[in-house]
Amino acid sequence: MLEASGAPLSRTHVMLPTPLVMGDRVRVFYAACDAEMRGRIFFADFEREPPFALIAVSPQPVLDVGAAGSFDCDGVNPSQVFEAEGRLALLYIGWRRGPAEAPYTLCAGLAFSDDGGRSFERWLEPLLPPREGERLFRTAPFLNREAQGWRLLYIGGDRFVAGESGRMTPVYSLMELRGANPWVWSGPGRVLMAPDVEAGEVGFGRPVVVRRDGEAERLMVSLRTRSGYRLMESDMPEGPAVRRVLTPVIPGPFEAWERQMTCFGAPCVAGANELLFYNGNGYGLSGLGLAWRPLD
């Protein structure tokens, strides 16, 4: 549905589509990479009704890489966007490259926009700084308002393992924090779901809480194995002692662009339809896709 433009800052990938439903369009934030594989955040606008035609693409990044040495100096990817007190809040993933035994770190960042998402101003410190047991990964945040305060789902971990091709692969778990202030988080996270390493699992990609009328909350997550991702859904997990059954969000048959992988799904409701923006092969190298269905 959308591929990278090939411009200097958008050579490859349309990663981690993150939708915001607006009055006359759906604005989807995503990360595109330059020639050195550093991601920057752009947006694409789509019509709200079928066939969801592309309206426009931002010519420049709305959030660039961070300053040299910062937690997001080697790339930024969107994770969640929502309205907050008259502004847009963007939770994002910040990348910083490291040595061969730990090729990168991923930390959650926070930025705000006062112009509808055409530009964002970042907090200079990570929303989730590294801590013991989560030194390398505290990332892919998803914030959820609840009756007693706020719940933050994220991905946490502190190790890599050698993959089948010798490439270092991260190992991380689905975590949660609860608190009263959505912008301030402290203390250790609680594990909600850990990968079954013996079965070939190594982690999970961006969690999303799915709410549908008349149904209990569901979790959408990208299950990562040594061979890649598949977009899955389950009942909300309560802890690692009871593993929820994960079922495919998109059961197939698959088209060529998504045959190897489906990942990074983000659903939203626009008018009378539920939309799902997601990535396929190569973590978004093959572009951004859209699946949709009527609500009734």
Instruction: Give domain limits for the chain.
Output: 12-294
pLDDT of residue 220: 98
* pLDDT over 90 (residue 5): yes
Whole-angstrom distance, CA of residue 289 vs CA of residue 266: 11
For residue range 56-82, what is the model confidence (pLDDT) as tens digits?
999 999 999 999 999 999 999 999 999
Hey, what CATH topology would domain 12-294 get?
A: Tachylectin-2; Chain A (2.115.10)
Residue pair 20/32 in contact (Cβ under 8 Å)? The answer is no
Percentage above 90 pLDDT, the chain: 85
Report field, pTM of the whole predicted structure over 0.85: yes
| Cα–Cα nearest to 277, from 14, 10, 6 | 14
Mean pLDDT in residue range 46-55: 97
Whether 26 contacts 48, CB under 8 Å: yes
Q: What is the pLDDT of residues 229-266, one digit of tens each?
A: 999 999 999 888 788 899 999 988 999 999 999 999 99
Q: What is the mean pLDDT of residues 154-171?
A: 87
The pLDDT value recorded for residue 147 is: 85
What are 182's two structure tokens?
């959505």
DSSP string for 134-196:
BSSEEEEEEEEEETTEEEEEEEEEEEEEE-TTS-EEEEEEEEEEEES-TT---SPPEEEE---
Both tokens of residue 271? Answer: 């008018």
Q: Find the mean pLDDT for residues 39-65.
A: 97
The DSSP bridge partners found for residue 7 are 10
Nearest to 198 by CA among 172, 223, 221, 225: 225
Q: Taken in order 141, 221, 2, 21, is the CA torsion positive or negative?
A: negative
Q: Within 10 A of 243 (CB to CB), how many other CB atoms are there?
A: 12
pLDDT range class, residue 152, cuts 50, 70, 90 = very high
